[in-house]
Structure 1
Amino acid sequence: MKRWTKSIVIDAPIEDVWKYLDGDLEKMQQIMPKVVSNTPVTETQEVVGSVYRQEYREGNRVEAYDVHVTEYENTPTHKHMKVAFTLAKLFEITAKYEVEALPDSKTKFVYITTNNPLKWFIKLFLLFGNDKVIVEFVERVKQVAESNRT
């Protein structure tokens, strides 16, 4: 299993950042442009246990998978959500989005993801994996949140 952690300070209030991580499809697509749908399958009042059918476009192919919310917290100064899904029957993936309010209307964003390959030959590729996609995602969240401050 491979694990990556990246954090960044965003010059935007916590709510302006969180709305892209825990918002509607239109907001989500601003930071995850390859997600083409995010449809509720099961929603719970406490959010943990909710399941969403998500579709992701990679080239001409669209892959569908169920995203399970395994952790959720939403307070005025600290928010986080952890999701888990299996992609293409090849990877078990978790993603944790955490935001913390900082002074001067800034927000610390921490992104933690794990990737567990389900096939032996995929494990070899993962050995050479780098954090480029993770860094690009964190920077995209920063850019979108800062350019759309309310």
Structure 2
Amino acid sequence: MISWKEERIIEASIEEVWELFSDAQIHRIMPKVEEHQLIEKTEEEAGAKHRQSYREGKRVETYIVETLAYEDLEDKKKKRISFVLGSAFEIDLTFTLVKVGENRTKFIYEGSNKGTNFVGRAMLKLGGKKGNHKVVGEFMDRVEQEAVNG
């Protein structure tokens, strides 16, 4: 299993950053997601489920994303999601935003990627923590860039 927790300050309001995690804006921070369709409950509550399709090269994977936690307070926002990718990886992601000032937000991105079978575990070992660290950094860069340059 690979896990991470990274933090950074983004020079944008908490509301501007939070908007990027809404269904309507998700493509801005996750450009490989081709479909993100609500199929159960509402997007603003725990228990919500989305059908999501993700393109990696020529392959498209479709899976169900479940919202495990959802918090939308004035000075703190949090969304935790979980999904199984390709029957090989169990992925758990948490996005937390903390208001540091009117135009400053602390973005905390944490998660884990666990191989659910031999193939998944082997692929995680081959990809290693270095590769995962690069992916995490690129995602955080994209969130910051979209929030700041909007």
Does the TM-score normalized on the shorter chain lie above 0.5?
Answer: yes
Distance 1:87 1:141 in 2: 22
Q: Aligned in 2, Cα 1:95/1:44: closer, same or farther, shift over 3 Å?
A: same
Which residue is 2:141 aligned to? 139
| 1:100-144 deviation line (CA, Å, top 9, x unaligned) | 111241000010110010122432342323210001101110011
Equivalent position amino acid for 2:144 in 1 = K
Bigger shift: residues 69-78 or 98-107: 98-107
Q: Could you state the TM-score of these two structures normalised by the residue count of structure 1?
A: 0.91
The answer to whether residue 124 in structure 2 is matched with residue 126 in structure 1 is yes
Q: Could you state the TM-score of these two structures normalised by the residue count of structure 2?
A: 0.91
Distance 2:119 2:36 in 1: 30
Distance 1:143 1:91 in 2: 28
Distance 1:41 1:6 in 2: 30
Bigger shift: residues 72-81 or 116-125: 116-125
RMSD: 1.5
Matches within 5 A, 1:92-107: 92-107=90-105
8 Å CA contact 2:52–2:63 kept in 1: the answer is yes
Which residue is 1:18 aligned to? 18
